Amino acid sequence: MHVRASDPGRRVGARDVVEALVHEIGSGALPPGARLPPVRVLEAQLGLSKNTVQAAYDELVARGLLDARAREGVFVLAPSLPREPPAAQRRPAMARWAAPLVEPYPQGGVFELGSVFIDPELLPRERLAECFRAAMRDGGPAPFYHPQGYPPLRAAIAERLRDRGIAADADAIVVTVGSQQALDIVARALQTRTVAIEDPGYRYVVPLLRSLGHRVVGLPLDPFAGLDLDDWSQRLARERPGLLYATTSFHNPTGYSYSSSELMRLLALSAEHEVALMEDDWGSDMLSGSEYRPTLRALGGERVLYVNSFTKKLLPSLRLGFALAPSEAIAALVAAKRTSVLGGNLLSEMALFEFLDRGYYDTHLRELQRALDERYQACLDCLRQLMPAAVRWTTPGGGPTLWLELPAGTDAARLRARMLDRGIALEPGDANFLGPAHLSGFRIGYARHAPAALARALGALAEEIAKAS
Which residues sit at the interface with ligand PLP, rule CB under 6 A? 116, 178-180, 202, 247, 252, 280, 282, 309, 311, 321
Minimum separation from the CB atom of position 359 to ligand PLP (A): 23
Residue 13 or 400: which CB sits closer to ligand PLP? 400
In the complex, the smallest distance separating the C-beta of residue 415 from ligand PLP, rounded to whole angstroms, is 23
Using the minimum distance from each CB to ligand PLP, give the nearer residue, 203 or 375: 203
C-beta of 284 vs 311, nearer to ligand PLP = 311
Q: Nearest approach, Cβ of 399 to ligand PLP (angstroms)?
A: 10
Q: How far is the CB of 357 from ligand PLP (least distance, A)?
A: 21
* Smallest distance, ligand PLP to C-beta of residue 321, A: 4
- Quick one: 53 or 189, whose CB is closer to ligand PLP? 189
Instruction: Kindly give the pairing relationship between strand 215-220 and strand 194-199.
Output: parallel
Q: How far is the CB of 179 from ligand PLP (least distance, A)?
A: 4
The 3-class secondary structure across the chain, one letter per residue, is CCCCCCCCCCCCCHHHHHHHHHHHHHHCCCCCCCEECCHHHHHHHHCCCHHHHHHHHHHHHHCCCEEEECCCEEEECCCCCCCCCCCHHHCCCCCCCCCCCCCCCCCCCCEECCCCCCCHHHCCHHHHHHHHHHHCHHHCCCCCCCCCCCHHHHHHHHHHHHHCCCCCCHHHEEEECHHHHHHHHHHHHCCCCEEEEEECCCCCHHHHHHHCCCEEEEEECECCCECCHHHHHHHHHHHCCCEEEECCCCCCCCCCCCCHHHHHHHHHHHHHHCCEEEEECCCCCCEHHHCCCCCHHHHHCCCCEEEEECCCCCCHHHCCEEEECCHHHHHHHHHHHHHHHCCCCHHHHHHHHHHHHCCHHHHHHHHHHHHHHHHHHHHHHHHHHHCCCCCEECCCCECCEEEEECCCCCCHHHHHHHHHHCCEECCCHHHHCCCCCCCCEEEEECCCCCHHHHHHHHHHHHHHHHHHC
If the CB atoms of residues 309 and 410 are measured against ligand PLP, the closer one turns out to be: 309
In the complex with ligand PLP, the residue whose CB is nearer, 57 or 245, is 245
Give the nearest distance from C-beta 23 to ligand PLP in angstroms: 49
CB nearer to ligand PLP: give 52 or 252. Answer: 252
Is the CB of 250 or the CB of 393 nearer to ligand PLP?
Answer: 250
Nearest one of 407, 402, 410, 393 to 445, comparing CA atoms: 402
Considering the complex, what minimum distance in angstroms separates the CB of residue 120 from ligand PLP?
Answer: 15
Least Å from the CB of residue 99 to ligand PLP: 22
Select from 242, 246, 194 the least CA-distant residue to 219.
246
Least distance between ligand PLP and beta carbon 39 (Å):
54
CB closer to ligand PLP, 67 vs 184? 184
Report the residue number, 141 or 200, with the smaller CB distance to ligand PLP. 200
Phi and psi at residue 268, to the nearest 5°: -65, -40
